């Protein structure tokens, strides 16, 4: 099998491992599991059909919200007194 070691085993296995390590919250895992299970279905949706258009918009909104949540969790920071502080320094090795 080619690829990096983290790719071996597939998406579901890697997501489960991240969830068990508490890097992925329960609600994120549920959303990612659902998105992964339905990852091919959007190809069959037609934007010209109103119900399909609404479904596509809902899928896009869900994906954007999750991306924003993940970004804030792993890359979030705050600025206090001119200094930058990581919201979750435990994700960033210092060595």
HSE of 90, CA atoms in CB hemisphere, 13 A = 5
Structural contact between residues 6 and 14, judged by C-beta atoms closer than 8 angstroms: yes
Instruction: For residue 23, give its domain range.
Output: 10-91
pLDDT at 2 over 50: no
- Does 53 map to a domain? yes
Averaged pLDDT for residues 15-28: 91
pLDDT tens-digit readout, 69-86:
888 888 889 999 999 999
- What residues contact residue 72 under an 8 Å CB cut-off, 6+ apart? 87
Q: Hey, which residues does 88 pair with through a beta bridge?
A: none
- Does 3 map to a domain? no
Tally of structural domains, the chain? 1
pLDDT tens-digit readout, 46-62:
888 888 899 899 989 99
pTM value surpassing 0.75: no
- Does 4 map to a domain? no
- Does 79 map to a domain? yes
- Does 2 map to a domain? no
């Amino acid at each position: 099998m080619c690829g990096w070691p983290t790719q071996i085993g597939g998406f579901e296995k890697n997501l489960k491992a991240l969830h068990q390590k508490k890097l992925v919250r329960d609600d994120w895992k549920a959303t990612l599991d659902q998105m992964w299970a339905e990852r091919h279905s959007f190809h069959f949706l037609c934007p010209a059909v109103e119900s399909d258009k609404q479904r596509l918009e809902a899928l896009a909104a869900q994906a954007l919200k999750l991306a924003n949540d993940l970004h804030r969790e792993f890359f979030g920071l705050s600025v206090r007194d001119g200094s930058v502080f990581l919201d979750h320094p435990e994700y960033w090795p210092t060595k």
